[in-house]
Structures are given as C-alpha cells and as structure tokens.
Structure 1
Amino acid sequence: MIRVKRVYDPPTPDDGTRYLVDRLWPRGIRKDHLPLAGWLRDVAPSGALRRWFGHDPSRWEEFRRRYFAELDAHPQAWESLLAAARAGDTLTLLYGARDPEHNHAVALKEYLEARL
C-alpha cells in the first residue's frame, strides 16, 4: 500500500515506512525531528518542472505528463520504492506542498501504483 502525507502532519503507526520525496528539505522541520527511512531527492520533479508547475491546478495534467516522462528516464530513482511496495510494505510518501490533491507525491503514487 502506498500513501501520501504532508510532512508537517504528525507520524502515525499506520504510516509504515516513511520517505521524504521532495527535492528541497521542508521549511521549519529539523532533520533530527523527522522520522524517515530515507530522503529520496532524485524521485522529485526537476527544479525546472517544479518552477513551471508552481502548484497551479490548471497545469496539473501537463505536469503529470512531464513528471512521468522524467520518472521514465530515471527508473533508478523510484525502483526501490516499487520493490518495497511489491514486498507488501506500507509506504508513506511525504511532501511539503500545501495542496493535498495537486502535488508531485500524489502523481508519484499514481505512477508507482500503475506499475505494481
């Protein structure tokens, strides 16, 4: 099972293995206060794509298309997540964006689930 959760929300026992999937460290969070299995910077969208998207919901479909193309080109960035999900682990993808519906973690979850 793959879940997404805002990094600012408190951890819960049902989170399973938690991974930060943002390229940049979230503001206001100390590294020693965030329980994580890993910080997977390379699975996040490129800086250019992130800036172009700007969390504008009207660009969501095109963002997803471009982001999926980036993921297709760099399978080494996400293969470990897919392997863990296939093993039956619960994964929680942590993100810092404010919009819970239009962010790269939601798109990444969709991308990974399509490959399960």
Structure 2
Amino acid sequence: MDPFKTIGLFAITAVAEIVGCYLPYLWLRDRAGVWVLVPAAVSLAAFVWLLSLHPQAAGRTYAAYGSIYVAMALVWLWAVDGIRPDRWDVLGASLALGGMAIIAFAPRP
C-alpha cells in the first residue's frame, strides 16, 4: 500500500477512535446528553472496521497506529479543546511518528 494512503488510513482510524471516546467523556462530565452514546458507538465500530483494513500484521499495525493516534490526539487538543500543543508535545509526536515510519515502511522479505 502507498505510504500516503497508509498514513491517511491511520489518521481516519485515529479520528474515529478519538470521537468514539470523546463523546462518552462529554456525557460522563455532564457536558452532553445521553444521545451522544449512539454516535460514539458508531464511531468505535467504524474504528474497529477501519483498523481491519490495514494491510500489515496486526502487531505492527497497532504499533504504527499508536504514533498516528498520538499526533491526532494533539491535533484534537488544539482544534477541539483550544489548547495549542507546546514544543514538547511536537517533539514527542515527531519522535513517535519517526518510530512509526520505521515500523511501517521498513523493507521486509
């Protein structure tokens, strides 16, 4: 699979997981009604389905996906929570993404 398609699929997967977890969080904090649990469940089901589309072995997929999740969580922090990531957030996400690139795109037989 094309590296850009793989990263894009990881990013969409991360958004589905974040939304699926964020909506129940809002409900638990009394910031949203119980109705948000329905789209949360749909989002988490989409997350599982999207994760199954990744072409690599499950262990490598989960390891590589984790770094994309870290980066997308920081984007969410900025876009939704209104908190701009600091240089340490950016450094940590960059290191995680570098590790992901090694795991996901290393030449293998």
TM range (shorter): 0.3 to 0.5
Of Structure 1 and Structure 2, the greater helix share is in 2
Larger Rg: 2
Higher relative contact order (CA 8 A, sep 6+): 1
Calculate the TM-score normalised by the size of structure 2: 0.33
